[in-house]
Every structure is written in C-alpha cells, then in structure tokens.
Amino acid sequence: MKLLALDTSTEYLSLALLLDGKLAERELLAGQSHSQRILPLLRELLDETGLSLRDLDGIAFGAGPGSFTGLRIACGVAQGLAFGAGLPVIGVSTLLALAEDAQGADRVIACLDARMGEVYHAAYEKTATGWQEVIAAGLYAPDMVPDIEGDGWTGTGSGWKAYAQALEQRYGRQLAQCIPQAYPRAAAIARLALPGFAAAQGRPASEAAPIYIRNKVALTTREREARAASA
C-alpha cells in the first residue's frame, strides 16, 4: 500500500510517503510559510520516489487539534490532492500521532501548546489491539488537566515545554519521562492511518474536516483583559 501523509498543525511542516512498509520523509521548520512550502516539498518527495499522486492508495492528514490556520492548510491540501487524483482520505488526531511517536512508550499523555495559557491534552494506552483512549482530547489550563490513574506515563508534545512546571506538578511521580520537543509527524500519521485504508475506511475528499476543539479562534478584547487581570 502507498500512502501520503502530511501535517501542518504546528510550526513544523511534515510530509511522509509510506511505500509498502518503507518511509520517505521531508520535514522543516516552516513557521508561518506552510502554504508556500508544502507543494514544492511534496513535489520533491514524489520525484525522489518516482511516484505520482495517482500511484497512491490514499492521503492521511493531521486533522488536529493544533494551529487553526495550520489545520485548514492540511485539510485543504489533502482535499485538493485527493479530489484531483481520485483518492480517499483519513484524518488522524495530532495528539494520537504524538503518542504513536513517543519513543516506544505505551502510556502517553500528549499535550500541545494551544496558546492563550492553555493546552490540547489527551491520554492513550497501547494494548495488543492498538491505542486506546484513556482521556479524550480536550482544552485545559495546564494546572487543570484531568487526573489520571497509574504511573509509568510519558509526557510528550510542546505543551510539556511551554508549561513544564504546571504539568509536572499535576502528574508528579506518575511520569516516567517527558519528550517536550516532540511535534506531530507525518510518519506517525501514516502508520496510524494504514489499517484504516487497508480496511477500505478512507472517506471521500469532500468529508475531510479539521478537529478544532477550541470553539473560539481568538478571545475577545474583554475576555483577554479579564484573563490578564486575574493572572
């Protein structure tokens, strides 16, 4: 099976081609230039492997949560490519992608910096049948993330870098390690999407949609002032 995966949910741009079990990747720190750089980088990756989009079996993308603009770029590019090549799509949680990539850990607390003093948070445990959701994805203040049972947990993602003290105080000795430099990678998204494509669970391009979690993209001026006053 041949799959394209892409993620633009953070400041990183990550692309991967999964070709019958082998990976070809391109990644760079794109900042705010994802929309300008993603298609040239994809062309470079396709040229390297000698493939065209029509040679693929599907396209997977990081559906979120993450940067509002970044999620729209990933979804839009996946849709456009899939429409043009007649391919199915699968959206993959960026938090689950962090768990998949967490250095082989089987108990993972994934946190992405959501800005505005908040984190996107979820917890997963790996079993014989794959990843199981322990705590569903949500948006929290770092000192208000949900309690979790047991120990041996790995913390991963930019939330652990931005709010290290609050999160480590919250989970204390339950943590085995932290990987604060981690970001959602297309290679992990491809691996997670593979069983779905193999089971013919890919969706039409028209059904691709981001996972925002935060209902408001920005706080109003009054809300910002109120939050600053209470800090």
- pLDDT tens, the chain, 231 aa long: 999 999 999 999 999 999 998 999 999 999 999 999 999 999 999 999 999 999 999 999 999 999 999 999 999 999 999 999 999 999 999 999 999 999 999 999 999 999 999 999 999 999 999 999 999 999 999 999 999 999 999 999 999 999 999 999 999 999 999 999 999 999 999 999 999 999 999 999 999 999 998 764 444 444 445 555 555
Region of 178 on the Ramachandran plot (φ > 0 left; ψ -120 to 50 alpha; else beta): beta
Look at residue 46 in the predicted model and tell me its pLDDT.
Answer: 95
Tell me the whole-structure pTM to 2 decimals.
0.91
* Structure letter (DSSP) for residue 163: T
* pLDDT attached to residue 214: 77
Q: Which residue has the tokens 């079990």?
A: 21
Distance between CA atoms of 32 and 46, rounded to whole angstroms?
23
Residue 179's CB is within 10 A of a number of other CB atoms, namely 18
What region does 52 belong to: left with phi over 0, alpha with psi -120 to 50, or beta? beta
Any idea how long the chain is? 231
- What backbone phi and psi angles, to 5 degrees, belong to 202? -60, 150
**C-alpha distance from residue 194 to each of 101, 103, 104 (Å):** 15, 19, 18
Structure confidence at residue 215 (pLDDT): 63
Q: Are 213 and 16 in contact (CB under 8 A)?
A: no
